[in-house]
Amino acid sequence: GQNIDQPTEMTATEGAIVQINCTYQTSGFNGLFWYQQHAGEAPTFLSYNVLDGLEEKGRFSSFLSRSKGYSYLLLKELQMKDSASYLCAVRDEDYKLSFGAGTTVTVRA
């Protein structure tokens, strides 16, 4: 099974940077995903890491260290529309996803 931990809530100011950490303990590993979920909506894919290092995609970057069981999602130049829940998910050896409880990010003006 998987044990995935991420902070419950974070607050930041518009234009700032926020880093959301995710730690995991897994019986098998086939990639780590970040999804964004606005209130009342479905999750949408943000990023994917399977090798160690940083993946950059516009204002969003995701980092993975497999040896430490650690990932973070970096959101730069925060905008009000970035207020959402961010879900860390780990894919196991059977290619099934296990999700963390999500981190609610509130962006203030």
Partner 1 sequence: NAGVTQTPKFRILKIGQSMTLQCTQDMNHNYMYWYRQDPGMGLKLIYYSVGAGITDKGEVPNGYNVSRSTTEDFPLRLELAAPSQTSVYFCASSYSEQGYEQYFGPGTRLTVT
Binding site for partner 1 (CB under 8 A): 4, 8, 31, 33, 41-45, 48, 50, 87, 89, 91, 95-102
Give the nearest distance from C-beta 96 to partner 1 in angstroms.
6
Backbone φ, ψ for residue 64 (5° rounding): -135, 135
Q: Looking at beta carbons only, is 78 or 90 nearer to partner 1?
A: 90
Give the nearest distance from C-beta 51 to partner 1 in angstroms.
12
Give the nearest distance from C-beta 16 to partner 1 in angstroms.
25
Burial tier of 84 (Cβ tally within 10 Å: 0-12, 13-18, 19+): buried
Distance CA 74, CA 21 (A): 9
Amino acid code (one letter) for 64: L
